[in-house]
Chains A and B, each alone.
Chain A
C-alpha cells in the first residue's frame, strides 16, 4: 500500500512538474494559412489560377508551405481560401495532404473577403483557434525550426500577457542602389530593442526621395537602447496568440497584416500590446510577393538554401528528380537532343523534349514541354505543357501552362505570358508586357489591397470566356486574330495588357528580369545627386544656421527635418495671412490661427515672426505698384494694418533680429525689388515700433565680422544705424 501511495504521489508530483512542458506538448499547434495574398501583383496569371497553386520549381507553392508546417510540428492547419477557392480545395482534396496522420488540413472558404483582416475576423467568428497559432500565407517557403521561436513566444507570454505576436525576421541586405530588398520589396526599416527583441518601429514604405525616416522621439525617450535595422527581411511568418484574432475583430478597420495591424499595435500604446521578433540565422524563410521574389526564391531553391525542400528530395509528391553536376536537376523521361546545351542551375521537368542546338541556362522548365531546335532560353520560368517552336528566344520571362510560341517568336525580358496564350510567328513581345487570354479589367484601382472586391466577378468572367474558348475555339482564334493581329502576330491569341500609368516605374522593379543597366546607372546617378543635395543642404544650413541663432544648429538630422517643416510652416502661415487679408479676418483671429499652426509644427515664436513678416512682404510685393516709392508706400500700409499681428510674436529681441535676417534673405533671393528699399523699410519698421534700436544695432554688430557680400544691406543702412547709435549715446 505504502509503495502504491508513494507512486501515486510521485505521479502527481511529476504531473505538476511537467504541467508546463506537457501543456506545450498537449496543446496541438495550429496554423492559419492564407491561400490568398489579397494583392494583384501576379496578375494576369492569378485571374485564372490562385497564386498558391502556381508552380515554384515545378511544385505548387502551397506544398512548400504545408510541407514546412508539417515538419515544424504543426498539427492542424486552416487553409483560408478566397479567390479561386474551388481550385484550391480541389487541389488539396486530390493531394496527399488530407490523408496525413497527425496533420490535419481543413479549408475555410469565403468569397466576399477582400483582405487578410477580414479573413482573420471570419476565422475568429468560427471559433476554431484555441491556442497559439502560426499565421502564414500560402506563398511562403521556409525550412526553419519553430521550436525555439515558439518557446520564446510562450515564455514571453507567460511573463507578459501583452506579448501577442512574434514576428520571424532574417538578415538580408537591401540593395544600396535600388533601395529594395533582394526579394523586390521595399527597403524595410525596423527598430528593435536589442535586449528584449521587442519590435518598436516598422516601416516598409519609407519615402526614399527624402532620404530620411522619422522616429517618434518618445521611442528614444522610453527605451534605454534601440537598434535600427534596414538589413532585416520580414519573413511573414508570425507566431500569434489567440488575442490577435480578437484584436482584428475589435479594430474592424484593420485590413493589412503589416500596414494596419502591426503599425496599429506599435502606435497604439493604450492597450500596451507588444510585438517581438525572432531572428533566424541558418535557416531559410521568404515570401513570394511579386515576380522578382518568385525569381529569387526559385533560384534559392535551386541553390538548395531551402534544403530539404529541393527538387531532388521528395517532400510532397513531387516527381523524382536527379541532381546532376553543376546544379542541373533532371526528372525522368527527358528527351534531349545531343546538340542541345543545358547549362547549370536549370530544372527540367518530367517528359520534356528539347530539340537540337537549343540553349537553356538558369531556367526552370516544367513537365511535358516541347522545345524546338535553336531555341534560346535564359533565366526563364516555363511551366507545364508549353510548346516552343524553332528559333524562339526567351530571356527572363514567365510562361504559363499551355502557351504556344510559334517559330521565331521573341520574348523580351520581363514578359509574362498567362495560360494558353499563342504568340505568332516572328512576333517580338516588348519588354515587361503581360499577355493574357483575358482582357485587362477596365477599372484599375491602384490600391492593391482593396482591389480584390472585383475578384469574384473576375472568376465568373473567366469561366464564361473559358467556356466560349472551349466551345468555339476556332471561332475565337479567328476572331481574336482578326482583332489582335497587330498585337500578337499572325495566329497569335491573347491581349497585351496595357501597363497602367505610373506602373512603368514598378514594372522593372518587380519583374523577373534583372534590373537593366541603364536603370541602374540612372538610379545610382540619382542617388549621387541626392547625396550632393543633402550635403548642399547641410552646408547651406550650417552657414545660415550660425547666423540665425546658436540654438540648435548642431544636430544635422534634426535640422533637416525642421527645415522641411519650416518650409511647410511658412507656406501655411502665408496662406492663412492671405486669406485673412482677403476676407478681412480680425487680427486676433489670425493670431489664434497662426498660434495653432505654430503648435502643430512645433515652431518657436521667432519662426512665426519670420513667417508672418515674410507673408506681409510677399503681399506688399504682390500688390500692384509702378515705382519703388509706391512699393514702399504699399509696404508701409500693410505694416501699419498688420503691426499688431507682427508685434504679438516679437516678445524678445531675438525675434526682431530674425525679422531683419528674414528681410535680408528676401531681398537677396525671393524679392529683389526690396533691395534698394532695405534701409527705408527698416526705418519704417523702426518708426512703427516693430523693431527696437537694440535689435538693429545687434544685427549690425553681428554682421560686422561677416563677408563683404553679406554686408551689402548693413552698408546701405549705414546712415540709419549711425543715427541710431548717436541717438542712443545721446540718451545715455
Chain B
C-alpha cells in the first residue's frame, strides 16, 4: 500500500503479539473492503491488496533478536486468519497468505544456510541457549542440521517433508539442550543479529514485492503465450467475462492473428455482454450466444478458453456457474478446454477439504424481479413458510478430467501437474492457516 499505512497501523510489538485479542483498524477496514468490494474488483485486485497488507504487517512487525521468522509467521498468520474468515469465498486471500508464509520460511532457510556457510562448525556444537526461554533461536541444532542439509541440496520434496514447523520444533530442541553456557561462546554478536534480523525482514519484503509484481503482471505474462495457442481463423468460445481471457484474446489480436470469438452471456449476471462489448471495441469479430446455446455451437468451435475463480490442488476448477456445462460440451466434441489462471488463483487445498467453501449463494434478485414475485413471498397468508425458493449459486466445479490445459503465468500445464506447481509455491505447514495458541512466546 502507500505511506498511509503507518498512520493507521498501531505501532509496537505488544499489540501485534496479542493479535487475536486485538482489533486492528486497518485490518478491519481491509476486511470490510474485502467483503464488500471483492466482487467488483476481482480476485487479482484482492490478491494484490492482501499481499500489500501483509507486506505492511511485516514491515511494521518488530522482530525479536531470535526466532524472527517465527514472529513474522505468527503475525502474518494472525492477520491471515482474520482475512480468510472475513471472506472465505475468495480463495485468493488464503492463497496469498500462504504464499507469504512460504516466502518467510524460504528466506529464513536461505539466510540460515548462508550463516552456516560462514560459521565455524564448532560453534554449532555450542548450545546457545540460556535459561531465558526467549533466548531460543532458529539456530537450534535441528534447524542447523536441516539448513546444513539444504546447503548441499536445493529445496526439494525431501526438504518439504523434513522441514519441521519452526515454532513447534524450536521450543522442543531448546528444552532438550537445557544446559546453558551463557552467551559468551555464541558466535554472533548483537550487532550481527540485528543486521541479520533486518536482513531477514528486508529479504522477505523484497520477496513479497516480487510476489506483488507477479500478481500485477500476471495478465501480461499469461497473455504473452496467446499466440502459441490461438491460430489463424480459429473460433474461440468463452463464458462470462474474465479479465485474463480478455487480455489473452487482445494479445493474440495484436499479434495480427485473425480469429472469431463466441461469447456465452453468463447468466444470471450477463457479464458476457460486457466482454462482447470490449471485444468489439478492439475490433474482434464477436458472436454473442446464450448459455443454453453452447452445446449447439460447440461443434463449430476450435477451442474453449475460460477464466477461473480458483484452481484446486487436484487440478479441478472453481469457475462461474455454467462452466461445467461448457466443459462437458467441449469434451463431447473433443474441443480443447483451456483454463487461464494467474498463480494467485492456485489453491493448495483440495475441493473436498472442509475449509474450502465451494460455493456462494448470491441474491435472488439477479434472477427475478422482486416486485413481480412479491405476492409469492407474502408470508402473511398461508402456512407462513415460503413456497418459492430462489437459488443463485455463483460457482461451478469443473473436475480435472474435463480440463485440457491450464495456462498460468508460469506457462502451460496439464491438470495432473498442478500439485507440483503448488509444492513450489506453498509449504505444507501452512495449508491450514491457524495460529497456535502458544506460539514461541
Q: Which residues on A are within 8 Å of B, measured CB to CB?
A: 70-71, 96, 99-102, 143, 170-173, 175, 177-178, 180, 182, 184, 231, 281-284, 292, 295-296, 299-300, 303-308, 313-315, 320, 322-323, 327, 345, 361-362, 379, 396, 513-515, 520
8 pairs across A/B with beta carbons < 8 Å? A99-B28, A171-B370, A177-B381, A178-B381, A231-B371, A303-B390, A313-B87, A514-B383
Complex contacts, B8 vs chain A, CB 8 Å: 101
Complex contacts, A99 vs chain B, CB 8 Å:
23, 25, 28
Interface size class of B (residues with CB under 8 A): 35 or more
Q: Which residues of B contact A313 (CB under 8 A)?
A: 35, 87
Interface contact A379-B385, CB-CB below 8 Å: yes
Q: Are the CB atoms of B363 and A306 closer together than 8 Å?
A: yes
Known: A71-B36, A99-B28, A100-B28. A170 touches B371 (CB 8 A): yes
Chain B, Cβ-Cβ closest to A295: B379
| Distance to closest chain B CB from A215 (angstroms) | 23
Asked whether B362 is an interface residue with its Cβ less than 8 Å from the other chain, the reply is yes
**Chain B contacts of A303 at CB under 8 A?**
364, 377, 386, 389-390
A143-B363, A284-B363 are contacts. A182–B28 as well, Cβ < 8 Å? no
Contacts of B361 in A (CB 8 A): 304, 323
Q: Which 6 A-B pairs have the closest CB atoms?
A: A171-B371, A307-B363, A514-B384, A172-B374, A182-B378, A282-B365
**B29 on the interface (CB 8 Å rule)?**
yes
Tell me the bound Cα distance from A102 to B33 in angstroms: 12
Chain B residues whose C-beta falls within 8 Å of the C-beta of A305 in the assembled complex: 363-365, 370
A514 CA / B383 CA spacing, docked (Å) = 7
Interface centre among A173, A299, A361 (most CB of B within 10 A): A173
Bound together, the chains give a CA A307 to CA B372 distance in angstroms of: 19
In the complex, which residues of chain B have a beta carbon less than 8 angstroms from the beta carbon of A362?
384-386
Q: Please name the residue on chain B nearest to A176 by beta carbon.
A: B375
| Contact residue among B32, B374, B381 (Cβ-Cβ distance under 8 Å from A515) | B381
Contact for A171 among B36, B85, B374, B382, CB less than 8 A: B374
Chain B residues closer than 8 Å to A308, beta-carbon distance: 35-36
A520: chain B residues at CB < 8 Å are 381
Among candidates A175, A282, A300, residue contacting B375 with C-beta atoms closer than 8 Å = A175
Q: Complex: how many Å from CA A380 to CA B30?
A: 36
- Contact, CB under 8 Å: A96 / B28: yes
Chain B residues, Cβ within 8 Å of A320: 85
Q: Which chain A residues border B389 with CB–CB below 8 Å? A: 303, 327
Complex partner residue of B379 from A171, A299, A306, CB under 8 angstroms? A299
A101, B29: Cβ atoms closer than 8 Å: yes
Given contacts A143-B363, A296-B380, 15 further A-B contacts (CB under 8 A): A99-B28, A171-B371, A175-B381, A180-B380, A184-B380, A282-B365, A282-B370, A284-B370, A299-B377, A300-B377, A305-B363, A313-B35, A314-B87, A323-B361, A379-B385
| CA of A304 to CA of B364, assembled, Å | 7
**Taking CB as reference atom, which chain B residue is nearest A322?**
B357
B31 interfacial contact with A, CB 8 Å: yes
Report if B162 contacts A (CB, 8 A). no
| Interface residue B301 (Cβ < 8 Å from any Cβ of A) | no
Q: Report the Cα distance A70→B390, complex, angstroms.
A: 28
Q: Is B369 an interface residue (CB 8 A)?
A: yes
Give A718 Cβ to nearest chain B Cβ, in Å. Answer: 61
* A314 in contact with B31 (CB, 8 Å): yes
How far is B382's CA from A196's CA once the two chains are assembled, in angstroms?
Answer: 39
Inter-chain CA distance A202–B375, complex, in Å, is 22
- CA–CA, A284 to B389, complex, Å? 17
Decide: B365 and A283 in contact? CB cutoff 8 A: yes
Residues of A within 8 A of B365 (CB): 282-284, 305, 307
Check B29–A100 contact: CB distance below 8 A. Answer: yes
A231 to B369, CA, bound (A): 14
Is residue B86 contacting chain A, with contact meaning CB distance below 8 A? yes
Pair B35/A315 contact, Cβ less than 8 Å: yes
Q: Which residues in A have their C-beta under 8 angstroms from that of B362?
A: 304, 307
- How many Å lie between the Cα of A101 and that of B27 in the bound state? 11
A96 contact from B23, B36, B390, Cβ within 8 A: B23
A299: chain B residues within 8 A (beta carbon): 377, 379, 386
Enumerate chain B interface residues (CB-CB to A < 8 A): 8, 23, 25, 28-29, 31-32, 35-36, 85-87, 357, 361-366, 369-372, 374-375, 377-386, 389-390, 392
Shortest C-beta distance, A508 to chain B (Å), equals 10
Q: Is the interface of A mostly helix, strand, loop or mixed?
A: loop
Cα A282 to Cα B362 with chains together (Å): 13
Bound Cα distance from A242 to B28, whole angstroms: 32
A688 CA / B431 CA spacing, docked (Å): 111
Measured between beta carbons, the chain A residues less than 8 angstroms from B23 are 96, 99
Which residues of A lie under 8 Å from residue B383 when comparing CB positions?
A: 514
Q: How many Å from the CB of A206 to the closest CB on chain B?
A: 18
Q: Are B35 and A396 in contact (CB under 8 A)?
A: no
- In the bound assembly, the distance between CA atoms of A313 and B87 in angstroms comes to 7
Nearest-Cβ distance from residue B390 to partner chain A, whole angstroms: 7
How far, in angstroms, from A396 to B380 measured CA to CA in the complex? 11
A101 to B365, CA, bound (A): 31
Give A182 to B103 CA distance when docked, in angstroms: 55
Nearest residue (CB) in B for A71 is: B36
**How many Å from the CB of A137 to the closest CB on chain B?**
21
Taking the nearest CB of chain A, how far is it from the CB of B20, in angstroms? 14
B356–chain A nearest beta-carbon distance, Å: 12
Partner of A100, one of B32, B86, B377: B32
Q: Which residues in B have their C-beta under 8 angstroms from that of A300?
A: 377
CB < 8 Å neighbour of A282 from B31, B366, B390: B366
A101: nearest chain-B partner, CB-CB: B29
**Minimum C-beta distance from A283 to chain B (A):** 7
Known: A282-B366, A308-B36. A515 touches B380 (CB 8 A): yes
Taking the closest CB of chain B, its distance from the CB of A518, in whole angstroms, is 12
CA distance A295 to B382 in the complex (A): 14
- The residues of B that contact A283 with a CB separation of less than 8 Å are 365
For A180, what are the chain B residues with a Cβ–Cβ distance below 8 Å? Answer: 380
Our pick among A101, A102, A182, A361 for the contact of B385 (Cβ within 8 Å) is: A361
> How many whole Å from A397's CB to the nearest CB in chain B?
11
A182–B116 CA distance with the chains assembled, in angstroms = 74
* Separation of A586 and B370 alpha carbons in the complex (Å): 66
Which residue of the partner chain, among A96, A322, A323, A513, contacts B384 with CB atoms under 8 Å? A513
- Residues in B with CB closer than 8 Å to A282 are 365-366, 369-370
* Residues of chain B lying within 8 A (CB to CB) of residue A231: 371
The residues of A that contact B372 with a CB separation of less than 8 Å are 171
Instruction: Indicate which residue in B29, B32, B369, B377 contacts A182 across the interface (CB closer than 8 Å).
Output: B377
> Nearest chain-A residue to B359 (Cβ)?
A323
Listed residue (B35, B85, B364, B381) with the most chain A CB atoms within 10 angstroms of its CB: B381
- Complex CA distance for A361 and B389, rounded to whole angstroms: 15
**In the complex with contacts A284-B363, A306-B363, A182-B380 CB distance below 8 A:** yes
Q: How far is the CA of A170 from the CA of B377 in the complex (A)?
A: 15
Residues of B within 8 Å of A184, CB to CB, are: 380
Determine how close the nearest CB of chain A comes to the CB of B13; give it in whole angstroms.
21
CA distance A282 to B371 in the complex (A): 9
Name which of B23, B372, B386 has the most chain A CB atoms within 10 A of its CB: B386
Q: Is there contact, CB below 8 Å, between A314 and B35?
A: yes
List the B residue with the shortest CB-CB distance to A184. B380
A227 CB, min distance to chain B CBs, angstroms:
15
Instruction: Please measure, in the bound complex, the distance between the C-alpha atom of A401 and the C-alpha atom of B195, giving whole angstroms.
Output: 57
Q: What CA separation (Å) do A520 and B380 show in the bound complex?
A: 10
In the complex, what residues of B have CB within 8 A of residue A178's CB?
Answer: 380-381
Q: Which residues of A contact B377 (CB under 8 A)?
A: 182, 296, 299-300, 303
Which residues of the partner chain A approach B374 to less than 8 Å between Cβ atoms?
A: 171-173, 182
Q: Which residue of B lies closest to A523 (CB)?
A: B381
Contact partners of A171 in chain B: CB under 8 A: 369-372, 374
Q: With A99-B25, A182-B380 in contact, is A304–B371 under 8 Å at CB?
A: no
A514 B380 Cβ-Cβ under 8 A: yes
Residue of B nearest to A509 (CB): B380
Q: How far is the CA of A653 from the CA of B200 in the complex (A)?
A: 112
Assess whether B381 is in contact with A514, with CB atoms less than 8 Å apart: yes
Measured CA separation A78–B363 after assembly (Å): 30
Q: Is the CB of A170 within 8 A of B382?
A: no
Query: Nearest Cβ in chain B — how far from A202, in angstroms?
Result: 19
